[in-house]
Structure 1
Amino acid sequence: MRFLDWNNLLANHFFNPSQSARQVRLFVSKAEIIAMGRLHFTQEQQDSEIWADFMSALQTGPLAANGADSVFDKAAQVATKWRAGQYQRLSGYDQSFPPYLAYLVFSILPLIEVQGSYNTNNYHGRMEDFIKENGPYEIGSKPRRPQNLRNKLQDIDHLWDELADWANVRMDSQWGSFQAGYTGNKSWKYVAKPLSQCVFPPIAIRRLPEFFSKASLIPGDFYTQRSFRDLLIDKGVQWLGLRADAISLIQGESGLGKSLTELVQTEFSRWTGEQFQLTGEEKERAYRIGTIVPLLVQLKPGTAGQVSFSYRAAFNTEPPADLCLGGMDDLYQGENWSRTLDIEFQDTLVLQDKVHKWKAQSPNREIRLFINAAHFNLNSRFWLETLRLSRIDDMYLLCKESLTEKIKNWGRENCATFSDQSELQGLPVGYALFRFSKPRASHPEFEMLKVQGEKSVSVRESTGLKVSYNRYLNHYMPEFTVSNAEGNEKPFLRYRDDDTQQNLLAHPSLGGVWLLPKEVRVGSPFTICLKDVAAEGAKFYEIIRPFLNDLKNENVPLRDAFGNPVENPAESYQGNLIKVSTKLESLADRNPFTPNLKWIPCQNDASPTSDNILMNWLIATVNTNTAGFNCAFEYICRQLFPGEPTRLLQKRKSAVNLLDYLGYIDYDYNKDKITALPPKLISLPTSSGRKALLIGCASAGLLEDLAAYCRAHQEDISISVNPRSLQHQEMLIPPVITFECAQVGTLERLAEKASIEFDEWYLLKLKALLPSLSDYKAMLLGGESAQSWDGVDIEQKSFSLQTLAFMPGQDYDRNYALIECRPKYLPEYGIWIKGSYYVVDKNWGKYLLFHHYSPKVYSYDRDIDLAGTKRLLRNGTKLALPAQLPLPRLFSRLIIQLGGIAPEFKQLNIQGVRGSYNIYGNTGTPFIDNLFKFKLNIEIHKTDEPL
């Protein structure tokens, strides 16, 4: 491999979109470098050959550094050309990364690979030993002499700062942020920067969640830097595996020691509260052993001199839908908050769900601060516990009575307003309550009452529709907060292109919160500035519009009929593009798509009534994950449907699945990836003429173009815009948009005019692609069995055919059983077949189980072993499937896209049994019945009871 290939390989390992806003450390071992390079070498080549190639590439360097003697000289020359803009193209391709990064990695390797008895700060001795064994060597020397790099670090010292400038300013931390390191004492002037990258190795960083758990820390709680420092000194060796001399650095007052403590603080701020453990197997697997979340106190001032207290849990990771804390369920309200928990105030409160191993905890505090809950997008009648002192908002302070005089003295001398509220009824015994505003100075004793002076601007949490790092959709603009605001700030935005400025608008009710001007430019990056506050290193923000041209089926992998990634098979699908080898004209089900009746034109002025904001967000993001989707979904719901939502977790999960089945997105559950699909017209079965459905994500502009075309050609084509039911509107599902005309050519011209694809036989291709239940079982058994979670302390549930639910307990038949277990948040589903365990798609697994255990019924085809479950019901054109028995993915797509109509969720009492059902309409055709008989080998039971 060439030098630049190695450089880009390493750079992409450290800096990529998944590292957005996270601190990057250039810690990488020899073994990891070999593993990265392995993909670019043949299987026959040894690890030693790959490593030799890497070291040779460093010594040779790029073409631009041929005249340099040492590897560090080459790094300096390469950086000079990069800085001057002369190094943007080399070897025929653009350089996305600084081309000296591999040399910085090399400067760290001796500290990682050479241990022995060296002190942590002994850099040069390690470097000399490393070079003797690995190179680089002096060019042309015989015998080979190691390059002498002593005192050469100063030649590349500036590159650490240049890398920080590239990552933090030029790339705006979108691929990760970087700190150049601390200089420490004078004797460490150049050594401290490579040293700061590896004193705290990644394995210790990976152990930090366990470290926090053992220390009984609560995520999001208030801890001083001193407390983290003391904890590292006390337990860093035992719990993190740090070297003793690393602890010495933390004990000292050097900048390097301080940076280690700050790193731990930063990782703590990102900790979700999840606790993991390794299995101890040969191939170790991590599994979740518990989750801890903060429990915050709420107070609510009432009438007639009263005050009441309650609690809210703050979720840093999504809770299980059936989480139960303190006997209370249906806890999730939205924006990662629980609903109000009506529990009287206690000094210390712990609520547990032993089934899911969740714990919500409120620690004992001498002082508790409260700010209006509207700051967290919650009901403004409540005041919620906070850990930060506001310099402009009214606040409440609850403290132990023993601290009353100390608080009074501070409040009366240093706050603009201060009043004693301790006479209110409802206060807990032994506590005093005060209300105050605008503190001017810190309390000399209590860290929580410290007035911070340094100001900064950031996006207010849970505002704006975030598309990517610091980029937002032009709907529901982000709001900005000024930390430590005093009330006299006048923030403004400055555009990058021409330095034009616009003032921000003060929030009508919340102090320190600012709104973008209505006429903010779209597509023009800007910074938010404060007068007299340095703007150096300020982040750029951008408001963008959705752009349909970014949506391509190639954005998702090519898959076979079971959803497995494949190279280029004859039978496959990619997004909403389907490839089959079957001759479609020979299919018996072709008739409904080509009726004999003529289409009669009808005047139709239908047009999309409003912009679908979720569609615009999906178009703008192109790719996202469930966490990103959840944030956008909840935010839009909060704007469209004010008030406290119900069953929000269930609505979100149903929404993402329906959007996938309706053809708007590709939802890859296993990789946690959601991809917006391009718009497309597909033919539908119809009784007259020709009919087509619009699938994929469509912008408001495209919809208007389609409607305008139909208005201009009313004699040839009509458009129908049918709104969803209220149930589906609450899931933000767009309306059904169909077109009717006499000839296929009319649909082809419409698609060509709108620059979208038209697929006449899409649904028949999809039907031809569908595998059978037997195919899926053969695929499972033909692959390797997996390692089960037996013997690991995680809950396993088995699927019950009686209750249609996963039931706790491990007493199940391993000859044939479907299992759910949660080693991490997303569950794993496995099926036991004759004592072997296979990871399975949940929906396919349920139908395998049903078919195995159900009584078999007569079938006119002796090759079909037809199961009669009497759980799948039909009445006329309506089909009822138990909600707990969803169809496999491609089956759901086919049935739903036959009319573009999403199923309705209903509670029904059928044959004296009450249950939850998904009701599919317009399914009274042999087309559907044959799918269940010939593909899923299950009979649909007819019923006279209303569906």
Structure 2
Amino acid sequence: MKYLEWNSLIGEYFFNPSNAGKEVLLYITKKEISELGIKNFGFASEAQSWDDYCKAIKSGFPEIYSKTTFIDKFLVVSNKWKYYEKVVFESNNKYDLKIEGASIYSPNLKVVYPFYLGFLVSLVVPLTDNVNSFRANAFFPPLDSFLVSNKIVTANNKTKSIADIDWVWNNLENWSKALYKTDLGYFTERHLGNPNWLYVGKPYSQCLLSPRNIRDIPNIFWAAGIAPFSIITESHFLRIINLYSESKAGFDNRIKNILKDEDNLLKKVIVDIVKREYENWKGYVIEYDERESNGKPKSGWVYGTLISAFTLNREDEIFTHFYYLHSLNDFPEELNLGGHDIKNLDSSFSSPINIPFNQELNLTDDQNKWRASATKNEITLYSSGSYFGLPSSNFVETDKISRQSTMYLLCAGSKKQVVEEWGSTFAKGDFNPVNYDNIPLGFTLYKFRNPVQSHPTEEILKITTKKKVELRGGIKLGNREYLKNMLPSIYIEGADGTEKIYFEFKNENRVYLLKNLVVPEEFIIPTSVVCNQQFLIKDENGILDNCGLGYQITDIDFNPLDILDENLTKRDRFGEICEGDKIEFVIGSNTHYNNWQRQLACIPDFYSNTYIRAPFKNNLSEYKLERGNLVLQILSSKRNLHYEEFSEILDCIEDNSRLWELSRFQQSPKYIKQTSISLYDYLGFLDYDYSLNKISINRPQFAIIPSKSSLRGILIGARSKSFIDDLQDCCIKYSVNLEIIPQESQLDVCYLPDLIRLIPADCNNSTEAWMKLNTIASIMNIEFRTIEKPYRQPQIMQFGLQDFSETVDGYKQHLLQYKNVEKANYEWARKVFDINALKFVKDDNPIDKTLSLQEYYVQYQYSYILWLDNKSYEVDRNWGKFLFLSEKKKHVIFYNERTKELAVPKYIQLPRLFAESIILLSGQAPYFKNITIDKCELIYQFHQNVPKIFAENLFKKFNQQMEFNNDL
């Protein structure tokens, strides 16, 4: 392969959209380069791949073959880049430029990577593979040995200096930050400041820590008892690295030697990397079994932070302390830490926990694998709860001093003198002790505002004068790209009150932001902001530290033609992903098979024999872009996403609406989100595959629902407000009543979209009615499927989904034949299905291998294992439950013939194709109520508008005894 082909491959390895906004370290090994060649160029072995890479470095680029030294070869490609860098960006990537037949563009991302990347990593590989210690005078011997042994240069051409190519480090930083705006990740040139390290320190700084070292850094924090978001000094960081880095993160001898050497400037690089990982750490800790080739997880905990907080009763002069549990991970149900039941307040904070001030707190919940501890500092800062979206009357622990808001400071007696020395620099009345009852023994509370200067020695009392932009909240579409529907707020760290913040667009137009009157460092984007244009964030009265990065507010109007079937998952009779070119399958909500004539048995329930002509009302309700309707518009804009993104969208909207906090039924966000995504799936809006962590939005589509009067249809799939507004106008033109019906109020916390129901008016029969819907569908690019035999009529999609689906006996045979697995038993992540409670519960007993069903949950990923006759099988979570019930001969489904409601236990969802077929009979999510079965009170979900024939078919397919109960 030619050098540029290898260069592009290495460029994509480091700089790609998955690293957007993240720092990139050029750590790579000989083995990883070889594997890249095998995967992308088809080499038969690592040796063959590596040999080709070395040949490319030696002679795979014009003019480098004649050069004798490595640096001379390096200069050829880097100087060529100086010319092409300008050409590429002046041409705006319009031309497919080539050098000796090799495109300068990477094959997948169509990015032109700096030509010198392939050479640059050649400085790093000798260090990642061979060096046991890093010293300024030990850089060139391993480099020369590497170059000679791989026949890149001869033994007579040793490398004496890398000064001539030193400029490329800065060039790479500029390329990643200024030109690509960190959209592919960013590189940082590290200056170490010592003449001995002037040049060689830069390659060393890239390969100090391996990806595995970095992966395991959270284990250092766990061992040291440091919760996320704690306030930690640099000296403390260095101390815990020395104590735990070897045993918990696998740091090797060369790193230990650097940390012990007081004069080694690489020590700061290591500390910076650890601090960076800490700042990004959400508290999830995974231990890996290194005996496994792929490093399987063997245990997992979540580490939450106990945030100190207090209120002041000024009338009685009483200080009341409590804690919040804070975590960016969803709280589990029934979380109990140290005997305290933890209730959810919002997406990241618990309700107040009444515990006195105690910096030695370390609470655990062994059942849920959660741990939480408090910050241990002699000085603790507090700001108004408004900064955290909490009540403003609460003062909450923080690590930043506001130059504008009133704050409090709690200090131990050992720090009282230095704190009061700092207090003496304030203007009169701006720094005062607070002498209230119940202030922690041995501590003093101070109230202050308008700080004048930083404390000379106490790190936590340093004032940030360098102003920096931070965007908080909002819905991200990409790196620094936000959706107009949910705008972020602009936070200026270090703001002093003189700021006039504005967006500057390319045409030099300005949009000024509004200051938040409660949080003065926060600025609010006006809803009239210009969309779909890049802008810079600037301060009219000063310089912002990172104001060179471009941002964009995007307003994406939904277009049905943007939704492509190719992005949806094809499913077989089990609801599993189809392999190969199967003729019969389900995609989205539609069944592709040849048995549609069998739907005739259902016709009487969908098309009434006594059709009642519906009058046109023309009193259309307003479609409000809020809550679930807003969620669906955002999902429609994204089209394809992962569950974590769905979770973040719900968190963002919940932060504004506070439905979880106000709900009568306090449930964990984790459970709410899992219920919500399932209902979005079964209501026909999207396709969610939990095994692949993939969400794909369905195209807009009309579905006919059962009706004993006028014909009725519902709208499923993607939508936006403008789309519904246009649909309303179209319905007026063709005399179709469009109803906007909220989902069950019990499910408000799930943020479900309104039901859009359509009833054609002024029609004489069902045929005339559905033909009206067909006309509107054609105009609006809405899918509406029909069958032609025995005569033309709409497909009853609910029938197709149910008829196509397999029986529970068929699923068992499929399981026995294809799904036998041997998975590690992660006891820390396991729950067992309880036949009486009809849900998964914690159970530390040995697994019943004759018959039992297990659930495992690790990092947003669920998996399910059924044990049957001493063999384990990987199962779908819903099929697995019904197969388990079938084996136990446990009957749990009921039907009310009077109300046409089907009752299923709350925690036993129907398999996906069945669930969708039943829920789409009404377009309404099931409601819940308690019923007593066999003297046990259980929660059941009630599906509405279910004809008897659908209920009968369902019971048969699941080996469930037909249970009629008109008193439910």
Compute the TM-score of the two structures, normalised by the length of structure 2: 0.88
User: Residues 886-921 of structure 1, C-alpha deviation per residue, up to 9 Å, x if partnerless?
Assistant: 111221111111221110122233554311111111
CA 508–642 in structure 1, closer or farther in 2 if over 3 Å, else same: farther
Give the alignment of 1:736-775 within 5 angstroms. Answer: 736-741=755-760, 742-760=768-786, 761=795, 762-775=797-810
Question: In structure 2, do the counterparts of structure 1 residues 464 and 784 end up closer, same or farther at CA, with 3 Å as the change threshold?
Answer: closer
Q: How far off is 1:878 after superposition?
A: 0.9
Partner of 2:730: 709
Tell me the CA shift for residue 286 of structure 1: 1.1
Instruction: Give the aligned partner of residue 583 of structure 2.
Output: 570
Instruction: Output the CA distance in 1 between the equivalents of 2:698 and 2:265.
Output: 50
Please show how residues 521-670 of structure 1 align to structure 2 within 5 Å.
Answer: 521-530=530-539, 531-533=541-543, 538-549=548-559, 550-561=562-573, 562-564=575-577, 566-576=579-589, 578=590, 580-589=592-601, 591-592=603-604, 593=606, 596=609, 598=611, 600-605=613-618, 606-611=620-625, 612-641=629-658, 644-645=661-662, 646-649=666-669, 650-670=671-691
Mapping 1:134-533, distance limit 5 Å = 134-136=150-152, 148=157, 150=159, 153-154=162-163, 156-182=165-191, 184-233=193-242, 235-237=244-246, 239-250=248-259, 251-252=261-262, 256-283=266-293, 284-302=295-313, 303-414=315-426, 417-418=429-430, 420-460=432-472, 463-495=473-505, 497-530=506-539, 531-533=541-543
Q: Which residue of 2 aligns with 1:865?
A: none
Distance 1:286 1:106, change over 3 A: same
Answer yes or no: is the 8 Å Cα contact 1:73–1:155 preserved in 2. Answer: no
Q: Which runs of 5+ in 1 are unaligned?
A: 138-144, 855-867
**In 2, Cα distance between the equivalents of 1:720 and 1:892?**
24
Greater RCO (CA < 8 Å, at least 6 residues apart) = 2
Structure 1 Cα separation of the partners of residues 57 and 946 of structure 2: 65
- CA displacement at 1:734 relative to structure 2: 1.4
CA displacement, residues 7-51 of structure 1 (integer Å, 9 cap, x when unaligned): 444333323333232211121222223333433466x92332233
Is the contact made by 2:37 and 2:49 (CA closer than 8 Å) also made in structure 1? yes
Residue 23 of structure 1 aligns to a residue whose secondary structure is coil
Query: Given residue 759 of structure 1, which amino acid in structure 2 is its aligned partner?
Result: R
Contact conserved, 1:288 with 1:823, CA < 8 A, in 2? no
AA in 1 matched with 2:845: Q
Q: Check whether the contact 1:554–1:574 (CA below 8 A) recurs between aligned residues.
A: no
Query: Cα deviation per residue 1:254-305 (whole Å; 9 max; x = unaligned)?
Result: 6543222111110111222232222354444113343322111111111322
Q: Which residue number corresponds to residue 871 of structure 2?
A: 836
* CA contact 1:287–1:823 (8 Å) conserved in 2: no
CA distance in 2, matches of 1:184, 1:574: 60
**2: distance between equivalents of 1:5 and 1:275?**
38
CA distance in 2 between counterparts of 1:244 and 1:330 reads 43
Greater shift, 603-612 or 882-891, is seen at: 603-612
Name the stretch that deviates more: 202-211 or 367-376: 202-211
Instruction: Note the C-alpha offset of 1:476.
Output: 4.2
Query: CA offset at residue 707 of structure 1?
Result: 0.9
Residues in 1 aligned to 2:660 and 2:759: alpha-carbon distance in whole angstroms: 40
Going from structure 1 to structure 2, the CA distance change for 1:511 and 1:41 (only over 3 Å counts) comes to closer
The one-letter code sitting in structure 2 at the alignment partner of 1:625 is: H
On the 8 A contact 2:693/2:861 being kept in 1, the answer is no
**In the aligned structure 1, how far is the partner of 2:493 from the partner of 2:347?**
21
Of 905, 920, 928, the residue aligned with 1:882 is 905
Residue 744 (structure 2) aligned to one of 712, 725, 731:
725
1:898 aligns with 2:921: yes
1:711 is displaced (CA, Å) by 0.4
Structure 1 pair 638/726, CA: closer, same or farther in 2 (3 Å)?
Answer: farther
1:14 matched to 2:49? The reply is: no
Shift in Å at residue 234 of structure 1?
A: 5.1
User: Cα distance, 1:347 vs. partner?
Assistant: 4.3
Aligned-pair distance for 1:228? 2.0
The residue identity in structure 1 corresponding to 2:279 is S
Report the number of matched residues: 917
- Whole-Å Cα distance in 1 between the matches of residues 503 and 586 of structure 2? 46
Displacement after TM superposition at 1:514 (Å): 1.2
Q: 1:680 to 1:149 in 2, by over 3 A?
A: farther
**2: distance between equivalents of 1:628 and 1:815?**
39
CA distance in structure 1 between the partners assigned to 2:522 and 2:696 by the alignment: 33
Q: CA deviation digits over 1:217-271, x for unaligned, max 9?
A: 2221111122223443455455444444444545455654322211111011122
- Verify: 1:98 aligned to 2:110, yes or no: no
Give the aligned partner of residue 928 of structure 1: 951
What is the distance in 1 between the residues matched to 2:588 and 2:649?
A: 22
Q: Which moved more, 1:395-404 or 1:799-808?
A: 395-404
Question: 1:556 touches 1:675 (CA, 8 Å); kept in 2?
Answer: yes
Rounded to whole Å, the distance in 1 between the matches of 2:445 and 2:114 is 60
Q: C-alpha distance in 1, partners of 2:273/2:252?
A: 16
Instruction: Tell me the CA shift for residue 468 of structure 1.
Output: 2.9
Summarize the Cα distance change of 1:815–1:595 in structure 2 as closer, same or farther, 3 Å threshold: same
Give the fraction of aligned pairs with identical amino acids, expressed as a percent: 25
Distance 2:873 2:581 in 1: 26
- Alpha carbons 2:74, 2:165 under 8 Å: kept: no
What is the match of residue 89 of structure 1? 96
Q: CA separation in 1, counterparts of 2:59 and 2:588?
A: 44
Equivalent residues of 1:505, 1:516 under 8 A apart: yes
Match of 2:764 in 1: none
Please say if 1:108 is aligned against 2:86. Answer: no
Aligned to 1:776: 811
**What is the TM-score when the length of structure 1 is the normalising length?**
0.90
Q: Do the aligned partners of 1:135 and 1:146 also contact (CA within 8 Å) in 2?
A: no
Q: Give the drift of 1:125.
A: 2.3
* Aligned-residue offset at 1:751: 1.7
Query: Aligned partner of 2:921: which letter?
Result: L
Give the Cα separation in 2 of the matches to 1:624 and 1:6. 31
Contact 1:274 1:288 in 2 (8 A): no
User: CA offsets, 1:316-338, max 9 Å, x none?
Assistant: 32222221113333522213111
> 1:84 aligns to what SS in structure 2?
helix
**Residue 759 (structure 1) shift:** 2.3
Residue-by-residue CA offset, 1:536-583 (whole Å, 9 max, x unaligned)? 66322221113324433333444434323634322334444x452323
Letter in 2 for 1:788: K
Contact 2:482-2:552 at 8 Å conserved across structures: yes
2: CA distance, partners of 1:426 / 1:639: 34
The amino acid that maps onto 1:811 is P
Compute the displacement of 1:383 (Å): 0.7
Distance 1:908 1:443, change over 3 A: same
Question: What's the C-alpha RMSD, in Å, of the aligned pairs?
Answer: 3.0
CA deviations 1:835-854 (Å, max 9, x no partner) are 22222222111111100011
What's the secondary structure of 2:854's corresponding residue? Answer: strand
Q: Distance in 1 between matches of 2:545 and 2:63?
A: 35
The farther-off stretch of 410-419 and 504-513 is 410-419
Counterpart secondary structure, 1:943 = coil
Residue in structure 2 matched with residue 860 of structure 1 by the alignment: none
Superposed CA offset, 1:190-228 (max 9, x none): 333322211222221122111222222222111112222
> Contact (CA 8 Å) 1:404, 1:432: kept in 2 or not?
yes
**Correspondence for 1:48:** 47
**Partner AA of 1:114 in structure 2:** N
Counterpart residue identity of residue 322, structure 2: S
